[in-house]
Amino acid sequence: MIAPSRRPTRLAEVRNLKMARSAHAYVRGSTVKFYEWLEHSSEQVPHGPPVWICGDCHLGNLGPLADRKGRVAVQIRDLDQTVIGNPAHDIVRLGLSLASDARGSDLPGVTTARILEQLMAGYEAALAGDFGHEGEKTLRPNSIRGLLNRSVRRRWRHLASERLDTVKPTVPLGKKFWALSREERDALGELFATEDMHAMITSLQSRGDHDPVTLVDAAYWVKGCSSLGRLRYAGMLQVGEGDGASLCLVDIKEAVTTAAPRAADASMPRDNAVRVVTGAKALSPNLGNRMIAARLLGKPVVVRELMPQDLKLEVSRLTQKKAMALAAYLGGVVGKAHGRQLSAEARAAWLGDLIGARTAALDAPTWLWSSVVTLLAIHEGAYLEHCRLFALAQAA
């Protein structure tokens, strides 16, 4: 078992090796560097209207999410970096992620141009109001249809088997879950005894308002990539009593300062956990409305119950046709998340700016194409250097 005092060193090793697995894994774990490189890029990214943005809008951060009643929609699923900022940053970040995955699938370079065209087409369709329920279904590619069908069929046993490798009412210690200190266990017990936490847990899945909520088990959770090194816990809760009792799995994650730049004069919560929850409610209501900000061991944390229907978008080998369809659809998802925060006039103005930035030779705006190409080259070089420093040393 890893003692709490040894966690930082071990977590740094795990994070570095995760980022060395592939160029796209490196993209997912290098949010801070993304904004450093973007800041020093010579490409002129347009300044869109300030809205809550994801701040880390890559493929793995989108997927099916259930609302409080179990209804499912594809939305942004990780809001650690959310700020009131420039919506163009989400477009560039998602474009870089799609382009990186296309390169990993050995698709020709021209496909990247087509992917960015479709990304903008989907985004602009959402701003124009063409990504409502019917529009979303029209753009939905087969890969998303299959993921949604799998999502709505999932139950507690699927979540427990996937996350815990067991359906028993326990969090099994091992590679993914580490033992807690007495201080951590006591703090988690106090957290789930609060009225706010009880209200959040019992508000989901038709539970009774007066059902008791009991912490059954908990562990430190070795999860994610960019979040490794923060406070991260899994809590197993029992809701109710006797034959009517049910189990649920709760994710407790420390909220830290965002790397994404916020818009000038933007007024945001100072507490990072409150910032994350506020941004989530604006961008991904299915998720935001079942999250709560709290304090644990003197640090801000975000608490959410993991629903069986919540799934990450996993992309394997892409064809050009699949990549273009996926780009258009995800562009619509992000465009809808941004657009719902704007007035009709502001949406129309932002849409006009984006359409006006096109050239005759390329439907994707020059700023997006140039930014993604430049960042793709920078990330590729940085990824190889990362592998030399960490993966090679581990293999020696």
Please say whether the dihedral angle defined by the alpha carbons of residues 260, 29, 46 and 117, taken in this order, is positive or negative.
Answer: negative
Would 254 be classed as within a structural domain? no
- Going by the DSSP 8-state scheme, the letter that residue 153 receives in this structure is H
Would 188 be classed as within a structural domain? no
Would 55 be classed as within a structural domain? yes
The model's pLDDT over 46-86, given as tens digits with 9 standing for 90+, comes to: 999 999 999 999 998 999 999 988 889 999 999 999 999 99
Which contiguous run of DSSP H or E holds residue 283?
Answer: helix 272-283
Structure tokens at 363: 């439907």
Distance (Å, whole) CA 341 – CA 82: 14
Would 224 be classed as within a structural domain? no
- Total number of domains in the chain: 1
Cβ pair 205, 70 in contact under 8 A: yes
- Going by the DSSP 8-state scheme, the letter that residue 357 receives in this structure is T
Mean pLDDT of all residues in 91-115 = 88
Would 111 be classed as within a structural domain? yes
297: alpha, beta or left? (left if phi > 0; alpha if psi -120 to 50): left
Looking at residue 396, its pLDDT comes to: 47
- Radius of gyration (Cα) for the chain, nearest Å? 21
Whether residue 301 has pLDDT greater than 50:
yes
Domain extent, residue 385, equals 19-153+314-395
Would 235 be classed as within a structural domain? no
Which contiguous run of DSSP H or E holds residue 158?
Answer: helix 156-164
Distance (Å, whole) CA 368 – CA 88: 9
Q: What is the pTM of this model?
A: 0.91
Percent of the chain past pLDDT 90, that is, above it, reads 48
The model's pLDDT over 7-39, given as tens digits with 9 standing for 90+, comes to: 878 888 888 888 888 877 787 778 888 888 888
Whether residue 105 has pLDDT greater than 90:
no
Would 305 be classed as within a structural domain? no
Alpha helix ranges (H) inside 296-365: 320-339, 344-356
Tokens 């258009």 found at: 328
Structure tokens at 269: 């919560």
3-state DSSP assignment of residue 203: coil
Mean pLDDT of all residues in 272-297 = 96
| Among candidate residues 11, 365, 51, 4, the one with its CA nearest the CA of residue 182 | 4
Distance (Å, whole) CA 228 – CA 7: 10
3-state DSSP assignment of residue 370: helix
Q: Which residue has the higher pLDDT, 258 or 227?
A: 258
Beta bridge partners of 293: 302
Would 65 be classed as within a structural domain? yes
Q: Which residues of 145-175 are buried (b: 16+ CB within 10 A; e: fewer)?
A: eebbeebeebeeeebbeebbeeeeeebeeee
